[in-house]
Amino acid sequence: MKKTILFAATVLAALVSSCTPSTPKADIKTEVDSLSYSIGMAQTQGLKEYLVGRVGIDTTQIDEFVKGLNEAVNAGDDKKKAAYFAGIQIGQQISQQMIKGLNYEVFGNDSTQTVSLKNFMAGFVSGVTGEDAKMSMVEAQDMAQRLMQELKAKTLEKTYGENKVAGEAYIDSIAKTEGIQKLDNGVYYQILVAGKGEVPADSSRVKVHYEGTLIDGTVFDSSYERKEPTTFRCNQVIPGWTEALTHMPVGSTWMVYIPQEQAYGAREAGKIKPFSALTFKIELLGIEK
């Protein structure tokens, strides 16, 4: 243990020569003192890099960090101070992470738009205190989800609006093709092989082979390429698939043409960009009991 004490003393000498007024001074006299100091130092590995890289603290502001750190540690069991420090911590998370994340989620890379920090904080404080609330928590959650989807779709439409226009033109051209039939939700299909088996319900687990393509012919997914049919429940896929499968007798092979609103809509999925109309060759092999 003598080596530990010697090491700590060496570090202490360097510390004393460069300490600031807000930096606590070590007083190492026993092995427990050395243990305490060495553990304290070991716990800071990577902390400075985190403060600079993630929190955005400049290296010239480390003294202020130490000042706040000492104040929080020395608060002990003071609940009032604990509440205050928790507010500071969460406030920093809102400012540095949550608002930035929300802006990116809703507006993408459009830096000219932002959520309202004033109204965000008004809602946040109302939610915490229960005072002056403009809506219930359930109403707030439902509204937030709905409006986020609507605003995000508007933002994506600015970027991927051409996909929507091209997809609509593609589906219109398919609708005018001889031999094409239409389902109730706007999905079109062409029968390549007419099956004579049972028609699945939306809760049925089915076994299929399929190949999906974009309107330019790009294949984005194919069970044929994997040489392995796939199984799933009819109601666990995109709406256009559910609609098609619940009208297909087992043994059928259809070409299915799905408008973007019955596919992934504003979502991006691998090679599938937002607002993409899709084409699938679907072979219904069976229904699993």
Q: Report the catalytic residues.
A: 210, 220-221, 238, 264, 280
3-state helix, strand, coil in the chain (%, to 5): 50, 15, 30
Nearest to 177 by CA among 188, 166, 164: 188
Q: Can you list the alpha helix ranges (DSSP code H) found in 231-282? A: 239-245
Listed in sequence order, the residues at least 6 apart from 225 whose beta carbon sits closer than 8 Å to its beta carbon are 211, 219
Other C-beta atoms within 10 Å of 106: how many? Answer: 19
What's the DSSP call for residue 269? B
Nearest to 280 by CA among 207, 205, 223: 223
123-134 burial: b if 16+ Cβ within 10 Å, else e: beebeeeeeeee
Cα–Cα distance for residue pair 157/108, rounded to 1 Å: 11
C-beta of residue 187 within 8 angstroms of C-beta of residue 247: no
